Amino acid sequence: MKGKWKFLLVMVLSVCLLLTGCGGKTTDQASGGQNGSMTAEAVKNLTVKMLNVGQGDAILIETPEQTVLIDTSDLDEQEKLRNELKKAGVKRIDKLILTHPHADHIGGVEGVVLQDYEVGEVFDNGMPSKSKVYTRYMKLLKQKNIKRHGLVAGDELDFGGGVKFKVYAPDKAAVDKGSKTTEHHDPNNESVVGRLIFGNFSMMFTGDAEKVEEEPIVKAYGNELKSAVLKAGHHGSKTSSSAEFLRAVNPEAVMISCGAGNDYGHPHAQTMKKYHSMKLKIYETDKNGTITLTTDGKGYNIVTEMGDVQ
């Protein structure tokens, strides 16, 4: 009998040790590990940061394989962009997407992004511009021998790690026509509009698209536009976020990039009223600082640097 009890005791102790070991691994993965090492679970996550860069747009996307930057803020906000990228630990930018050639979206290209970082390739809306910022940007791309691609509806970019970016605008016919001249352009309504997709999670990116560009997108893609999170068009302007577009996207949360006390009054009260009526969680860089979203392709979490979420 003594031998039998000794055998049972050894078996119980072995099981306890095994369970303790497994529990330790689970805790380490959930916390990210006390030694700062990247766990397998953490590597699978997608991170989207709406950077606090004043009135312009700059959104950093980090996948397990690539670092992507959408827009580069304004000319007079370059130092903010530089600090935000440094704070985020960016070493290289694999893909740079410029939604349209207004200064508050391409202002940091020359002085920060192409100066401070190795950039793999650049994507924009394929439309020319007379602006000096745009001219210098194009010249610098040639000097650095960086590939540039014009995006059109139907294109799909691979961000690595199972993350895709499907483009809904601009329309190819409009690009073919507009790329031949710098005249009669409406940059806001030639914005690159696309949907970030990772597993069951999706987020809609809009540049400065207004109702004029939103309407044909809704007609062409309808329910495909459904996204958990919306990047507010044109900094929350009343010219964007039409009722039809909002119904099609049907988001749970919206992120707005705007400067505190900006001259445009962004975000406009009319737009905020629409967001509130849909009971959206509203995040604003002027009130919340940099806004960080993480997702494993199933659920998602949004945290802010400061301030209460509306």
pLDDT, tens digit, 9 for 90 and up, residues 230-260: 999 999 999 999 999 999 999 999 999 999 9
Question: DSSP 3-state assignment of 29?
Answer: helix
Q: What is the mean pLDDT of residues 130-149?
A: 95
Q: Would 23 be classed as within a structural domain?
A: no
pLDDT of residue 281: 97
Q: What total of structural domains would you count in the chain?
A: 1
Per-residue pLDDT band for 306 (boundaries 50, 70, 90) equals: confident
Query: Quick check: 32 pLDDT over 60?
Result: no
Of 74-88, 176-190, 247-261, 291-305, the poorest mean pLDDT is in 176-190
Q: Which domain holds residue 236?
A: 42-304
Q: Strand order of the sheet with strand 59-62?
A: 147-150, 118-124, 92-97, 67-70, 59-62, 46-50, 291-295, 300-304
Q: What is the mean pLDDT of residues 204-221?
A: 97
pLDDT of residue 309: 74
Q: What is the mean pLDDT of residues 262-272?
A: 94
Per-residue pLDDT band for 167 (boundaries 50, 70, 90) equals: very high
- What CA–CA distance (Å, rounded) separates 254 from 84? 21
Q: Would 24 be classed as within a structural domain?
A: no
CATH number, domain containing residue 86:
3.60.15.10
Higher per-residue pLDDT: 175 or 146? 146
Q: Among candidates 47, 46, 29, which has minimal Cα distance to 38?
A: 29
